[in-house]
A = this chain, B = another copy of it.
Amino acid sequence: MQLEEAKNKFIQSWGTLGTHWGINRTMAQILALLLVSDKPLSANDIMAQLNISMGNTNMNIRALMDWSLVYKELVPGERKDFYIAEKDVWKVTSRIVEHRKRKELEPMIRILEDLQNVEGEGESVEEFKEVVNQIHLFAVKSDATLEKILIADRNNFFNILMKLVLK
């Protein structure tokens, strides 16, 4: 397998994976392209290499910057903006996890808490509260665990992983 072929394979696979992670295909592909690029790329380079439109490129680069997965890099003597990817796997992962925690888990916890306010007394109300309560408990524990993991630095994280795996 030649380098170019390998890079393309990586970009394609990463794109597919991304769609399962709250990231759309193009956004994931841009990230992948920048991850395996040895130099910063301009919006134009990205457009050309992935065969996508200007607007699509721009929108997704900005989303990636918003997620802190891609940074602008100024290239002296160049007027265009150039971009590089965050290459630290742990940072990439933790930023994605953080986003999803904020956008999915935390809103769900708020809703579950709200649902505890259901009125009435009968058995069916109790059963409902019980189900909601179980899920809430679980969600809160998961949230706290993620929080703990996220504030740890990479080394800490690998230590935790190792403890779990070797246990």
Contact surface of A with B, Cβ cutoff 8 Å? 1-3, 6-7, 9-10, 13, 17, 20, 22, 35-36, 38, 87, 89-90, 93, 100, 104, 108, 111, 114-115, 117-120, 123-125, 127-128, 131-132, 134-135, 137-138, 141-142, 144-145, 148-149, 158, 160-161, 164-165, 167
Contacts and interface: CB of A to CB of B under 8 A. Distances in A.
Given A1-B118, A38-B124, 10 more contacts: A1-B115, A9-B111, A9-B114, A13-B108, A13-B111, A20-B104, A93-B138, A142-B161, A145-B165, A149-B164
Contacts of A132: 6, 10, 36
Contacts of A120: 2-3
Classify the interface of chain A: helix, strand, loop or mixed. Answer: helix
A7 B120 CA distance: 13
Nearest to A35: B131
A23 B35 CA distance: 29
A111 B127 CA distance: 46
